[in-house]
Structure 1
């Protein structure tokens, strides 16, 4: 069997190093190389992972690839996805799929026109605790869901990739960065769609030079009437054992369920550095996501988190920003693609 040949479109995202490690650890997968507009980042990736770098994205896409992972800054996703789609290679795009609903719609349409499967990087769909929760709900053991509380808190990401706090590249701040994970997890668990969004946010975390929102709360109302809140804040201290985490509390007619999506971890205490860290706090979900992507490339079949799922998350975020602007709840109407 020929190896699945995968390329990386930029090393910009904080997850790019992990994707390289995971791809290089999988049998039957060849990480061919990467292209990046930033020569410093390209050199960093080449040295860290022994990768070949390509001068242009066209050159990378011409290297007999089967698939690419788009790891560029958020506002550049559309250009890279559409370029890959026209080259006929399958795509895994980092979240958020786009920073604008029209861009997300265009990306889905372009991939469909070129018969290229598009996957959105939503690793929580591959989290064992999240799957266990979905199975529990489907069994009816806890009754009917009445409300949900979601938390996706993390460290201010500027120390890892400064573009996360640049609105021109990120499209926003903590709201767009973290809300999409929990919103998609809730859509996946509840098998339901959002009809209304209300949001509040502030920039109290990070200092006066931060030009984006750094903490806040989003309230979602689903078709079923279920109401969910999402704390999307970048409020974890730098001394926290990991970049952050994701948790859910679901209140139902026959019980309350608490879920820590990153519960599968080992806590490490290092006396030499006086630091506590969580080992494998999230990589298991990402590994399962990458394995699903590779399997879908082999068989040209659909994945769990599609481009449509990415679009729905972008729609929710767009409504949240509109709510911040107006101070009012905003109706969420899914676009037909």
Structure 2
């Protein structure tokens, strides 16, 4: 039986994960890749974009998204700025293409719903890119919880911290393109893991606070840099999430996600940054950090392409993306008002 060869398009190099997706697709050996990055013409940062980036990554390039979706592709990976996801997904869906969309799925609930409906109408699959759930650390945590080793979950403390994204990819600090700041950038990953661990239980109420204390010396940062989100779920579980750009600019790695799950019979903890080789580079006069082990991005990409071959819904689905977005939007509302927000589906 002849193995299927995939034709995949990359919509934008705006997100730093775009390069990781391309590397993952190329490692498979069964994917032909093209890209389009028309928004690079208006970017204010000086990172390589557009045709220059395509050459560096070794993929084909066309000038517009319309040209890209007309190449007879099987799927696209949407990597443009958060507020531009809807337009890209709807264009791909209209062409009948399956879509892997970067997180957050959208920045407005109505946009996420429209994207889901557009794909449902044409039969295109829509997957939300939450790679952390594919990490070996989280998989083991999920197994520990499912086996009942710590009993019933009563509380979760999560943190997803990173460097403030100034310089290259600085659109993350522009609310008009990102839909917010550190809260929407980082909290969604932890919320996705909670969605898995709590079997999609709905939150009952959400309270959040944000501030701009971190990086107050950087005038280009015009959004929140620190956020703390408290969620009480319908089943009584209480979760707290730190989503802050609190990693030092001089740190050797970008950041890390940690999770502590408290059960009636025990506690389990993970740190997604533990699998690495660290040290000091005397020539470069700096610390170095090399990740190793199974690639969560590779597994996410494999899940997406396998779902096309097997004609099934990939996970995490667009519905997962919508559920996480509801929580983040409620947290943003709470932070703005100073009040607890009651969640509604």
Matched, 1:92 2:100: yes
Task: Give the direction of change, closer, same or farther, for the CA distance of 1:93–1:316 in structure 2 (3 Å limit).
Answer: same
For 2:292 and 2:334, how far apart are their aligned partners in 1? 33
Equivalences for 1:267-306 in 2 at 5 Å?
A: 267-280=278-291, 284-306=295-317
CA gap 1:309/1:282 in 2 versus in 1, 3 angstroms: farther
1:165 is matched with 173
Deviations 1:273-308 (A, max 9, x none): 122233226971111111111212222222120000
Match of 1:71 among 60, 70, 79: 79
| Alignment of 1:116 onto 2:124 | yes
How far apart, in 2, do the equivalents of 1:24 and 1:161 lie?
23
Task: Tell me by how many angstroms 1:195 deviates.
Answer: 2.1
User: How does the TM-score come out when normalised to structure 1?
Assistant: 0.95
Do the aligned partners of 2:33 and 2:60 also contact (CA within 8 Å) in 1? no
Note the C-alpha offset of 1:266.
Answer: 2.4
Cα deviation 1:209-247 (Å, max 9, x = unaligned): 221000120001112100000000001012212111100
Please list every run of 5 or more consecutive structure 1 residues that lacks an aligned counterpart in the other structure: none
> What is the root-mean-square deviation in Å for CA atoms of aligned residues?
1.5
Aligned 8 A contact 1:239 1:275 in 2: no
Q: CA deviation at 1:32?
A: 2.8
In structure 2, the gaps of 5 or more residues are 42-47
Equivalent pairs, count: 334
Q: Distance in 2 between matches of 1:321 and 1:201?
A: 9
Q: Distance in 2 between matches of 1:43 and 1:282?
A: 32
2 CA distance for matches of 1:152 and 1:99? 19
Task: Give SS of 2:49's match.
Answer: helix
Task: List aligned pairs for 1:212-231, cutoff 5 A.
Answer: 212-231=223-242
- Output the CA distance in 2 between the equivalents of 1:226 and 1:277: 39
Question: 1:282 and 1:216, CA in 2 relative to 1: closer, same or farther beyond 3 A?
Answer: farther
Q: Is the 8 A contact 1:10 1:72 kept in 2?
A: yes
Contact 1:4 1:297 in 2 (8 A): no
DSSP 3-state at the match of 1:235:
coil
Most deviating of 36-45 and 75-84: 36-45
Residue equivalent to 1:201: 210
Structure 1 stretch 31-40 or stretch 133-142: which is displaced more? 31-40
TM-score by length of 2: 0.93
